[in-house]
Chains A and B, each alone.
Chain A
Amino acid sequence: MTITLGISCFYHDAAAALVRDGEIVAAAQEERFSRRKGDPSFPESAISYCLEEARIRVSDIDSVVFYDRPGLTFDRMIKSFLSVAPSGFKTWCEAIPRWMREKFHTENIIRSGLHESGGGDDALTQIGYKGPILYTPHHLAHAAAAYFPSPFERSAILTIDGVGEWATASYGAGENGRIKLMKEMYFPHSLGLLYSAITYFCGFKVNSGEYKLMGLAPYGKPIYLQTIKEHLAQIGPDGSISMNMDYFDYVGGLAMVNERFAGLFGGSRRLPESRITRREMDLAASIQMFTEEAVLAMARHVRKETGEKNLCLAGGVALNCVANGKLYREKIFDNIWVQPAAGDAGSALGAALAVQFGHHKIGRPANGSLDRQKGSYLGPSFTGQEVEAFLVAKGCKFQKLDPGVRAETVAEALASGSVVGFFSGRMEFGPRSLGARSILGDPRREDTQRTMNLRIKYRESFRPFAPAVLAEDVGTYFDYSGASPYMLMVAPVREDRCIKRTTDLCNDDLLTAVNQVRSDIPAVTHWDYSARLQTVHAETNPIFHDVISCFKDKTGIGVVVNTSFNVRGEPVVCSPDDAYRCFMRTDIDFLYLEGYWLDKREQPVTEKDDSWKQEFELD
């Protein structure tokens, strides 16, 4: 038996993953335990959880692997300063102390962290980890996270992110359990950083606001596409990116872009939380179109170079599900598989898999249809007894549902227009909620999007919601016939279900646009008649599948709204305590908690106090 622990941390979204004999046992992001969004610190709690899930001790681990090579990252940083000095001093003052505190001591921090984590009790704490600390190249970790859990025996691999060590993108091929990376693109030329730069300029947060920019894009027109191509970045025929660094500040500055960049787009950046104007919508549309062109060009090149029919995707840019949808429809590859934790959190898993198959040489049988990601339900779960003990201690009023009526009860509430917090089974690994820690709603109602955005999630009203659809019914609602279990594909809503818009968006009035009914499932139909869909499979999440089936029996629609169980700026809930707190602070009507049913109206009255909103920094 060979056990490997993968760790990613010190940049953003720290995580840990445990792999035993090639099988993914557990994986979780640290933010879910620390309740600090994108927490970059050493993932002590996530490691403890992984050990607990595997029922092992620290001393049972054969190898520990870090997702990046700090030496190469330091080399890039120093060369960045050599390129900008004497300017760049402020960034230097921020970066060097951090390196002195953490990154120079990666190995020591891991060893002492493993000593302290230890698996929970004092006897284990004293054992510690004596084996090797291994390091994997950053993009190899991404590539491994994409290829090894995929259902393919052989496949092309494409990874695209902001930057990791020197690389910003890479491609290669996986065959018979071995990965061979062929080519890389180097910093500062980065599709991910270009997207982040425009995210920053539009007033959203880098490393989390990219998703908002993607959601904003359909409201705009790509009028800046030519400006981007002429001044900021060019796409080569092979999909490679060449950036004009005269407009960017990220090599040595604290900001992503400089004043010349602002000059191109008619003024300074939008201030966070200020009104979104036509300029931001058009910029979003333009960079989205640029990204899609670049991803398609890269994919064509990779197909030509590798000759493979399947493609595995990872890296932060692979979370751009609109580009993924285009890639799917272009049919450059016969099959595409995207790692659901495509960002750096998933690199913990990728690093562990790379070491299992590349270093320990464990065999990897591919089954060709089902993947090895287990629906990405790789996080902690709670038993009925644990939940009941919590509810009793909290003094909650609840009802224990018989297994036969659970799905029925949730579906009934949804069909009557209620919003349900749904907590079931193991927590998801990755940024998307897939029916284990979700808030569910009725997609038929015109006001669902607005209500859920403003009164439950406390987030921007324009942001779309995703449909969770029965896998067998996906073609009934969407122009899509494949599987999308990880909510990583955007597809058009079928034309016969769409309702033609009465007005076009001719000013900045996003709210009016949001309120327009666009199909018979308006809550999950975006402005451009697209939807970011999740196909729900009975094999990976039978309870969630049952809920949607019951909802279909009642309403004739096999789709529900599925959004992450959290409020803006808060990490997705992990424990029953987190879920109950979120339930009580928002306008969620009912809470399904691992077979227990809570009605908001019956809960102990709490004093109306909105100060908790300060707990979470807005993303």
Chain B
Amino acid sequence: MGSRQEIRVLLVQVAEALRGYLLIAFLAGLYFVVLTPTALVWRWVLRRSLFRARGGWIKVNEATDTPDLFSRSA
């Protein structure tokens, strides 16, 4: 009974570690395969980057005194 319990604990630990590695692999894929090429194109073609952005006051485009403002989540 004791050894079964130990095996179960071990399996859970292995599964958790595996899940961690899978998550990192997924995130790495997303970052290096999808986001990085997009970023390179974005920065090169559009000449855009937060590093190029300038400081300064920018007009608020959205009216902040309308009741429906609060219904938008983004």
> Which residues of A pack against B, CB within 8 Å?
65, 69-72, 74-75, 78-86, 89, 92-93, 96-97, 107, 132, 134-137, 140, 143, 170-172, 178-189, 234, 236, 238, 240-243, 245-246, 251, 301, 354-355, 358-361
Contact = CB atoms under 8 A, between A and B. Distances in A.
11 contacts: A75-B74, A78-B35, A136-B69, A137-B64, A140-B69, A170-B60, A180-B65, A188-B50, A188-B51, A240-B56, A359-B70
A482 B29 CA distance: 59
A236 B56 CA distance: 8
Given A132-B71, A186-B58, 17 more contacts: A81-B31, A85-B35, A86-B31, A86-B32, A86-B36, A134-B70, A135-B71, A172-B60, A172-B64, A183-B57, A183-B59, A185-B55, A234-B55, A240-B55, A242-B55, A251-B50, A359-B67
A65 B70 contact: yes
B27 interface: yes
B39 interface: yes
Contacts, number: 135
Contacts of A140: 64, 69
Contact of B70 (A72, A83, A354): A354
B47 interface: no
Interface residues on B, range: 35 or more
Contact of B42 (A82, A96, A185, A354): A82
A93 B24 contact: yes
A178 B63 CA distance: 11
B54 interface: yes
B58 A184 contact: yes
Contacts of B6: none
A83 B53 CA distance: 11
B43 interface: yes
A72 B27 CA distance: 21
A69 B73 contact: yes
A297 B35 CA distance: 39
A132 B71 CA distance: 8
B62 to A, nearest CB: 7
A175 to B, nearest CB: 10
Nearest to A234: B55
Contacts of A83: 39, 43, 49-51
Nearest to A248: B51
Nearest to B41: A82
A195 to B, nearest CB: 15
Interface of B: 23-24, 27-28, 30-32, 35-36, 38-40, 42-43, 49-51, 53-60, 62-67, 69-74
B74 A185 contact: no
Contacts of B74: 69-72, 74-75
Contacts of B55: 185-186, 189, 234, 236, 240-243
A393 to B, nearest CB: 40
Nearest to A180: B65
B70 to A, nearest CB: 4
A69 to B, nearest CB: 5
Nearest to A136: B70
A358 B69 contact: yes
A132 B73 CA distance: 11
A293 to B, nearest CB: 15
Contact of B27 (A92, A245, A358): A92
A93 B21 CA distance: 12
B73 A178 contact: no
A100 B53 CA distance: 29
Nearest to A178: B65
A434 to B, nearest CB: 31
Nearest to A351: B70
A137 B71 CA distance: 11
A93 B70 contact: no
Nearest to B60: A181
A554 to B, nearest CB: 52
Contacts of A186: 53, 55, 58
A92 B32 CA distance: 11
A188 B50 CA distance: 7
Contacts of B28: 89
Contacts of B57: 171, 183-185, 238, 240, 301
Nearest to A88: B31
A592 B49 CA distance: 57
A522 to B, nearest CB: 42
Q: Which 7 A-B pairs have the closest CB atoms?
A: A71-B74, A242-B55, A189-B55, A85-B39, A134-B70, A183-B57, A83-B50
